[in-house]
Amino acid sequence: HIQQKRFKLKLCTSEQRFIVAQNDQQPKTKPVMFIGDEGTGAGSRIKGFLRYGGIWKQRIQVKYVNVRITDEYMASQVCLYCFSKLDQLMQRKLNKGRQISFKSKGSL
């Protein structure tokens, strides 16, 4: 049990050092760590029992950086400012007299 606790603390410490080093390059920003809810029992009736993972990482990291828990599939689709799901705008373009709809490359 002691080795497992040391491993978890060592893992989180290395992640915190990486985040702090990245934040030193841009001192005006606050770091936000996105952690997926895989294995935490989110949305389950058993709430973490008989599940792998757990919430140990969130509990350790929240002491040092801002932590946001998201679905695994939405980790790259979340706005960094308001934490809502990103939407891609549909744009229209005239091509040879016809209107073509396509998704914009930027997200809002």
pLDDT at 62 over 50: yes
Query: How confident is residue 14, by pLDDT bands cut at 50, 70 and 90?
Result: confident
Question: pLDDT grade, residue 50 (50/70/90)?
Answer: very low
More confident of the two residues 55 and 17: 17
pLDDT at 101 over 50: yes
Between vectors from CA 18 to CA 29 and to CA 20, what angle results, nearest 5°?
A: 35
Task: Write down the domain spans for the chain.
Answer: 2-76
Q: Is the dihedral of CA 68, 72, 78, 83 positive or negative?
A: negative
Report the alpha-carbon distance of residue 67 to residue 51 in Å, rounded.
21
- Percentage of the chain beyond pLDDT 90 is 0
pTM score above 0.75: no
